[in-house]
Structure formats: C-alpha cells, structure tokens
Structure 1
C-alpha cells in the first residue's frame, strides 16, 4: 500500500517508517523539514520526503493529492484540524490512523485504566485529544471513513530526554541519583507514570494497519506492560549507577520552591493523573507484544544521552 505518514521524522516515525518500508509498503513522509529520524536506518533511503506544514489549511488537500491508501497522522492536536482531514479524506482512502495520548484520560479512579473507564481529561491538550478520539470513533461507527486512534504513554527512546522519576524533564535528577544524594520527592512517591518505547508504539500502528478490520473504529492504549511509580522509578534508576536512592518526602509547596515553578508544574501535571493503563485490548485485537518494560526503555534513552554527552551524571552506568 501507499502510506502517508504525517510527522514521520519524530519519535514514533523514527521507528514506524522503517517498519512500514520493511513490510513492503510505499512510504511518504510528510514533514516541515527533511530530517530522517532520531535513529539511522537504511530503510529511509526508500522513503519519499514531502515538505508540508500540518497547520496549513491546505494540508488536507496536499495529503489527498498524494493518493494514499492509508494515512498515519502523528502530529494532529486540535479537533478542527482532525475534522478537516477526515472531511477531505472521506471516500478517498481506506484507513486513517491518529496519534492521541493517554492524557485523553484525567486522574485515575481505578487501576489499571482501560480505553473505556478513563475519567474526563484535564487541560487543553488532553481535552483536545479526547475530543478527536471521540470524533473519529463516531465517524467510523456512522459509516464514514475507517479510523483508528492510538494513545501512547510517555514516549522514550534514543535521542531525547525521558520523563524522569519526578515526572518532569529536569536533567538534574539524574545527577542526584547517580551521586547517591538525597532527592526531594513531593508526597510519598506512589503516583504512577506509564512510559512506552517509541518502537513499541510503532508496533501498534503497524499492527493496526495490517489488521484494519479489527482496528476499525477502535482506540488503543500504547504503553509498556507495566508502569513505574515515583519511588520505584527512582530506586531502579539509582541502581543503574550502583547507588541506593535517598528519597526525602517534601510537601508540594516546598517542592515548588526548590525545584522551580516550571519543573514543579510539569511534575504536577504528570503525577496528578497517576496513570497506569491496561494493554489487554491491544493484545487481543492487534496481537500487541511490547518488547520493552518501562525501565528498559528509559535506560536505553539515558544511556544514549550519556554516550552523546547530553546528560551529566556523577558516576558511570554499571549496567
């Protein structure tokens, strides 16, 4: 099939595009630039690059003009934008796949969470992702375009910083843990974060394309088989450096003062949701078998950052 991937040079596309090429598809990568992904792969030499801006009102027409059989949209963030693409592609293609987010669900009420029991979302981003997923499901159920929405957890992999043990992107946490120094943890550290390796997300997209009938009108959580809570994540990460995590519980008021408002707010946004999702639906309908536990995925990311002098640590990795 001819598959157009919008945003194929990003985290998921880095692994999805080569997967699709190796599966024998003709792949067109639509992006603002010509970068071929975070990880080198010879499959990129067989990919046709097309430059287009996802925010341009002409984007749906540009995609339709490529005459795809399948469109994978990895960079849609508003209902208006999603609806415009659906309206243009209706009757023109066989399958539209959208990348959502587990933040389509709000703070957990029951664990593990499923595609059906997620509470209402918080914040502009989560609300938009939820609205898009609902629109797509209604589009397919009403006899329109065949769609699938896939909702990744916190994506990690080589080439970028993972969401860390405190639920933010502050690199200082890795130096603290690698030195065995005390780490201020807001509360008691029981909140979950659900990570996923980018290649495991790519696996779900590839499976949904291959199993179109099973994926039609469905939404799937794309996460690792298990989730890490704050204190477990910190203790595992400290162990990578031969250290024992020294966790010091503090109030959120104190944490905001010491961590800084931006980092503390990012932590709050992640930890207040307390997300831990089931992958039973993706297993049953798509045969999803994630290759990475969350700590394995994060370790790969951290190792890459250290090896490329993009992360400062006090002691070397021992694993």
Structure 2
C-alpha cells in the first residue's frame, strides 16, 4: 500500500515510518522542516521525503491538493491540530483515498469520573477543556461523522503522554520542569499539589506507532472508530515519584501542599501544565485497541519514561544530582 505520513519525522513518525517500510508499504513522509527523525533507521533510505508548511498551505488552500497529488492509498495525519485543518484535508481526500488515520489525544476527554476511561462511555470522563483538548474533541467528532455518513473512511487514535528517546517526558508532577528530576535524584523534598493519587497515562512512541500500523492493517475494524493508545497501566503522582527516585538510588520525599502554595513556588507555565495533567487524572482502558486492532504494547509506563530519562542524562540534556543506578528499571 502507498501510505503518506504527514509529520513523518516527529515523535511517532520516527518509529512509524520504518515500521511501515518493513511491512512492505511504499511510504512518503511529509514534514515541515528538514530535521532528522528522533531514531535513525536504514529504512529511511527507501522513503520519499516531501517538505511542506501545512499552516501556510492550509491558508492558501493548497495542502489537501498536495497530499492528494502524492497518490496515496492511505494517509496518516500526525500533525493536525484544528477542526478547520482536518475539514480541509477530508474534503480533498474524500473519494480519492481509502483510509485516513488521524492522531488525536487523550485530552479529548476532560477530568476522569470512572476508571479506566473507555472510548464509548461518555460518563467515564467529563467534557474536554482547554483549547488543545477541545480542538482534538471536535476533530474526532468531525471524522467520526464523516465516516458514519458514508464519506471518507477515518480512524482517530488517541495517544497518552508520548515518551521515548530524544525528548523530555511529562514528569511526576505533570510538567516538563527539570527541577523535579534534580530533586528526586538528590533525595530532596518535592512539593506535590493535590493528594498524590492523581494519575497520568504515558505511552512509548513505538507503541503508538504500532497502533497506527495496526489501524492501517485492520481498516474495516478501525473504520469510524476512536481508540485510546496508552501503556497497559497508568502512574499516580506518588507512584511515579517513588519509582523515579529509585532510579537514582534515592527515596522520594514528598511534601503535600495546596495548589496556591505550589503555584507560588514554580513558574506559571509549569504550574499550568501540572494542573492540566493532574486535574484530568487520566487512566484509560486499552481493551478496545486490543480487541479491534490487536494492540500489544511492549512498554509499561515507567519503562518508557526511564528510556527517555536515560537518553537525556547520558547526553547531558537533563541535570541530575546522582547518576542512574546500574540496572535501573
């Protein structure tokens, strides 16, 4: 099958594109810049590279035509963030492409109500909030309605917090604050807002790539569906901090504080990120992904995060007080 991957050199694409080549597909990777994939692989030598500025081409109405002109049988869209952009692509591909697989987000769901959250039970989570989450929810509904009406066959896959070598993971407090890792690695007190029982659901980028590959393979089962793509389990704030401190031979020292006190002790950016993750307190079921797609994630969340942290520490991109313990897992 000829597959066009929009955003092919990013987090997911770095793993997905080589997977598709190994599976025998003809792959075209569309990206905005000429950055190299996060994970090098010899399969990239067989990939056609196309460079395009989606935002600019959406504005002048040419992006959908560019994708259609590449003659895909299927399209994987990893970098669509507005309903307007999604609608433009759908309108151009309708009747020309057999399958559009879209990358959504678990943030299409709001605060958890019943755990694990399932895709088809509206009572398991509250309504989406925040510009990003609301946009992803609207895109998912748009795509589902398109397929239900007999138009373009679409599938929306909704990853959790993606981690892997090459970028910083969402940390135990739900932010990218490097100070969290310094404190844990030194055995210093970590100020924790809330109860510490709030959860976050990570997933390794290669497990997400696996799900996209499977959605293409099982088109009929995936058609019109929304599917959560996460690790088999989720981490609580407390559990995450304790496991992470252990990687450095330390015990986590957690100091429970109010949100008001926490906000006064960090930057507005980190505080907002922490609140967004911990208020949602997400934990998802993977039953639908397993049953419909055959999804079999290889990584538990702590394994995925450790791989990312080890990569950063070894390259001097994350400052820690003590080295990782040999055999940390």
Q: Please confirm whether the aligned pair reaches a TM-score higher than 0.5, indicating the same fold.
A: yes
Asked if the contact 1:31–1:51 (Cα under 8 Å) also holds between the matched residues in 2, the reply is yes
Match of 2:28 in 1: 28
1 CA distance for matches of 2:284 and 2:291? 15
Match for residue 84 of structure 1 among 84, 88, 99: 88
Match of 2:128 in 1: 121
Taking the TM superposition and a 5 Å limit, the aligned residue runs for 1:213-292 are 213-292=220-299
**CA offset digits 1:185-240 (Å, max 9, x no partner):** 00221110000000000000000000001001111001000000101000000000
Taking the TM superposition and a 5 Å limit, the aligned residue runs for 1:66-77 are 66-77=70-81
> What is the TM-score normalised by the length of structure 1?
0.99
- 1:34 is displaced (CA, Å) by 2.3
2 CA distance for matches of 1:76 and 1:267? 24
Residues 1:315 and 2:322 are matched in the alignment: yes
Residues 1:108 and 2:115 are matched in the alignment: no
Q: Which runs of 5+ in 1 are unaligned?
A: none
Alignment size in residue pairs: 319
- 1:113 is displaced (CA, Å) by 0.1
Taking the TM superposition and a 5 Å limit, the aligned residue runs for 1:150-189 are 150-189=157-196
Q: Which runs of 5+ in 2 are unaligned?
A: none
1 CA distance for matches of 2:268 and 2:104? 27
Match for residue 133 of structure 1 among 120, 130, 140: 140
2 CA distance for matches of 1:81 and 1:156? 26
2 CA distance for matches of 1:187 and 1:67? 51
- 1:260 is displaced (CA, Å) by 2.1
Match of 2:313 in 1: 306
Q: Which runs of 4+ in 1 moved over 3 A?
A: none
Residues 1:64 and 2:71 are matched in the alignment: no
1 CA distance for matches of 2:3 and 2:89? 15
Asked if the contact 1:54–1:76 (Cα under 8 Å) also holds between the matched residues in 2, the reply is no
Match for residue 200 of structure 2 among 189, 193, 211: 193
1 CA distance for matches of 2:250 and 2:99? 49
- 1:78 is displaced (CA, Å) by 0.6
2 CA distance for matches of 1:164 and 1:280? 26
Asked if the contact 1:183–1:247 (Cα under 8 Å) also holds between the matched residues in 2, the reply is yes
1 CA distance for matches of 2:179 and 2:149? 50
Match of 2:100 in 1: 96
**CA offset digits 1:118-142 (Å, max 9, x no partner):** 4210111111101111111111111
2 CA distance for matches of 1:195 and 1:208? 20
What CA RMSD, in Å, does the superposition of the two structures yield over aligned residues? 0.7
Match for residue 219 of structure 2 among 207, 212, 216: 212
- 1:116 is displaced (CA, Å) by 1.7
> What is the TM-score normalised by the length of structure 2?
0.96
